[in-house]
Every structure is written in C-alpha cells, then in structure tokens.
C-alpha cells in the first residue's frame, strides 16, 4: 500500500488523522520521494529513539519540518532559534532565557494574562 504523504497538500489537511493512522500502521518510517527522499517518522517510539540518538545523526538544525528543505530551497533556515539548534548551541541559547520560564517568573504574569484573556473573550 503506497501512502501519499504530502504535508503541504489540501488532501493531507482534510484527512490528516487518517493519513497519520495509515502511516503508523503501514509505513511508520516513510520515505517522502517527492521531497528528495526526506524521511517522516510517524510513531512516538521511533521519534523518541531518534531524539535520544546523537544530534550529529538526527538534527533539527534546519527545522523540524522545514519547507525550504522539502520544497527544494537550499538557502537554509534564515534565522537562529532554539528549536533549530543542536548540542551546545541549543543549550547556550536555552540557558540565556531559561530563568524567564520558571514557575515564579510565569506566576508574575498570571494576572496580566488572565485579564488579557478575559478581555479577548468578552462578547
């Protein structure tokens, strides 16, 4: 059974749940030939095991689902972000902002976020 997995197609967006189920059941490590042979993993365990591997073998440096890579634009990601870095670069970027994501830092924002949410949801 050949599965047509194109994450940019209207068919995919209309039927993503059934397409992912077909991938998990029949082709969990799917080669996307239309995208230069990129690979799509559809089972949690496979993704988890890839994540545990060496960042030199499994990388997100060009994104986790990079349209430029899949669509043939080799100009690179065009920006630096935490999710698009690996290893020590990822750690260094993450460490520069991690103190803003502690429970106490977030709790300082709670009332402001609550009020913004209430204001936005008012009829």
Domain boundaries, the chain: 10-121
- Segment 91-120 shows an average pLDDT of 91
Number of helical (H) and strand (E) elements in the chain, helices listed first: 6, 2
Non-local CB neighbours of 71 within 8 Å, separated by 6+ positions = 8, 35
Provide the pLDDT confidence category of residue 26 given band limits of 50, 70 and 90. Answer: very high
- Segment 39-55 shows an average pLDDT of 83
- Give the single-character DSSP code of 56: T
pLDDT in tens, 12-22: 889 999 999 99
Tokens (6 digits) for 42 = 């559809």
High-pLDDT (> 70) share of the chain, %: 74
Nearest CA to 108 among 100, 116, 120, 98? Answer: 100
Name 87's bridge partners.
Answer: none
Q: What pLDDT sits at residue 115?
A: 96
pTM to 2 decimals? 0.51
Is the per-residue pLDDT at 77 higher than 60? Answer: no
């Amino acid at each position: 059974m050949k599965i047509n997995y194109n994450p940019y197609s209207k068919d995919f967006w209309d039927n993503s749940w059934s397409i992912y189920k077909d991938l998990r059941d029949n082709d969990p490590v799917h080669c996307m030939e239309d995208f230069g042979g990129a690979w799509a993993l559809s089972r949690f365990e496979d993704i988890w095991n890839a994540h545990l591997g060496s960042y030199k073998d499994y990388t997100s440096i060009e994104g986790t689902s990079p349209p430029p890579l899949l669509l043939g634009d080799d100009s690179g990601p065009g920006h630096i972000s935490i999710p698009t870095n690996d290893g020590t670069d990822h750690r260094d970027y993450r460490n520069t902002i991690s103190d803003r994501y502690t429970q106490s830092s977030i709790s300082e924002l709670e009332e402001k976020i609550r009020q913004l949410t209430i204001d936005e949801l008012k009829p």
